Chains A and B, each alone.
Chain A
Amino acid sequence: MSGATVVPGVPRRTWGIRIRRTQDGLTLGIADQAILLDGVAQEVYTALDGRTTVEQIADAIAAKHGIERGEVLGDVVDLLEQLGQVGVVDWVE
Chain B
Amino acid sequence: MDIKHVLRVLDGEQLIPAEPSAAYVVGSRARGWSNNKSDWDIYVITGEEWFSETGAVMPMALNPPRVVSESFYHGETRWEVTYWLASQVHQMLRKVSWEEFRRGLPAGQVLTPREELFLGRLLDAAPLTGHEWLQEAREELERSAFRAFLLSRSLGLADDAVEDVLGQMESGELQSAVLSARAALKHAVDALLESHGEYGSLIPKWRPQRFQAAKPSVISFEDYWSLETMRTYDPADPTRWIEEVLALCQEISMGVEVS
Contacts and interface: CB of A to CB of B under 8 A. Distances in A.
A46 interface: yes
6 nearest CB pairs, A to B:
A19-B253, A16-B166, A21-B257, A18-B159, A15-B246, A20-B258
B217 to A, nearest CB: 14
B255 interface: yes
A22 interface: yes
Contacts of B253: 18-21
Interface in A18-36: 18-23, 26
B254 A19 contact: yes
Given A49-B247, A50-B247, A15 B254 contact: no
A22 B258 contact: yes
Interface string A1-15: 000000000000101
Interface of B: 155, 159, 162-163, 166, 243, 246-247, 250, 253-259
A13 B256 contact: no
Contacts of B243: 15
A33 B247 CA distance: 22
Contacts of A21: 253-258
Interface residues of A, dominant DSSP: strand
Contact of B163 (A16, A23, A46): A16
9 contacts: A15-B166, A15-B243, A16-B162, A16-B166, A17-B250, A18-B253, A23-B257, A23-B259, A46-B254
Interface residues of A, number: 14
Nearest to A18: B159
A66 to B, nearest CB: 24
A40 to B, nearest CB: 15
Nearest to B152: A20
Contacts of A13: 250
Contacts of A46: 254
A23 B256 CA distance: 11
Nearest to B250: A13
Nearest to B158: A18
A23 B155 CA distance: 17
A19 B188 CA distance: 12
A75 B166 CA distance: 31
A12 B146 CA distance: 33
Contacts of A17: 250
A59 to B, nearest CB: 21
